[in-house]
Amino acid sequence: MRLPILVYPDRRLKEQSLPVTDFDASLHKLLDDMNDTMMASSGIGLAAIQVGIPLRVLLINLPDEEGNQFPENLIEVINPVILEKRGSTTYTEGCLSVPEYYDDVERAEWIRVEFFTRHGERREIETDGLLAVAFQHEMDHLDGHLFIEKLSFLKRKKFEKEWKKKLKEKK
């Protein structure tokens, strides 16, 4: 089932997400619904808070070179913790909660993350490139942060001005 995605400046996007304690059918349904939502919205990642559920849950499904996403590439991430990070890289990021806006964001180039699967199994991943960026972007959501907060003061001011204008035009 497709869920509605919260859009900036919805205050719920600022909420701290709570750890998952029950790896049960309701969690599995949330994960399935989040995947339906992410795929229908052409996203590569989605945090539960973006659909109004303040739980430490996120999904990532990176496309291949042709832009195709496959179910076997879906990563379901519960209660993630970054154990280690190194280096620095800049990627042009976008967000389903800040539609049609993209900007360069600096993040760690390599990360090691611990998380749990939908069945409560502990996993660890070491990654770099777009997958590392996606993990960091989605994990920021779990702490109530959006990628636009990482912009310089001037870029943020420009974004706010353009965003307000865009919202007025939609009314």
Ramachandran quadrant class, 100 (left: phi over 0; alpha: psi -120 to 50; beta: rest): left
Fill in the DSSP letter of residue 146: -
How would you classify the pairing of strands 45-47 and 57-60?
Answer: antiparallel
Are 133 and 93 in contact by the 8 Å Cβ rule? The answer is: yes
In angstroms, what CA-CA distances link 168 with 5, 51, 64, 108, 162? 20, 24, 37, 36, 10
The residues carrying an active-site annotation are 138
